[in-house]
Amino acid sequence: MNLTLALITAVAPAPAGGLMAFLAGPQGQLLFYGAIMVAFLYFMILRPQAARAKEHAAKIASIKRGDQVVLSSGVIGKVTRIEDTEVSVEISQNVIVKVVKNMVTEVRTKGEPAANDAKS
CB count within 10 Å of CB 25 equals: 11
Q: What is the pLDDT along the chain (120 residues), one digit of tens a residue?
A: 565 555 555 555 555 666 677 667 777 788 888 889 999 888 888 888 889 999 999 989 889 999 999 999 999 999 999 998 999 999 999 999 999 999 999 998 765 555 555 554
Task: For residue 70, tell me if it sits in a domain.
Answer: yes
Is the domain of 102 the same as that of 68? yes
Structural domain total, the chain: 2
Task: For residue 20, tell me if it sits in a domain.
Answer: yes
pTM over cut 0.75: no
Task: For residue 114, tell me if it sits in a domain.
Answer: no
pLDDT of residue 98: 95
Is the domain of 71 the same as that of 102? yes
DSSP code of residue 113: P
Range of the domain at 35: 14-59
Report the phi/psi class of residue 105: left, alpha or beta, with left for phi > 0 and alpha for psi in -120 to 50.
alpha
The residue type at 59: K
Rounded to whole angstroms, how far apart are CA atoms 116 and 84? 32
Task: For residue 46, tell me if it sits in a domain.
Answer: yes
pLDDT of residue 120: 47
Task: For residue 39, tell me if it sits in a domain.
Answer: yes
Give the number of C-alpha atoms closer than 13 A to the C-alpha of residue 45, restricted to the C-beta side.
6
Task: For residue 22, tell me if it sits in a domain.
Answer: yes
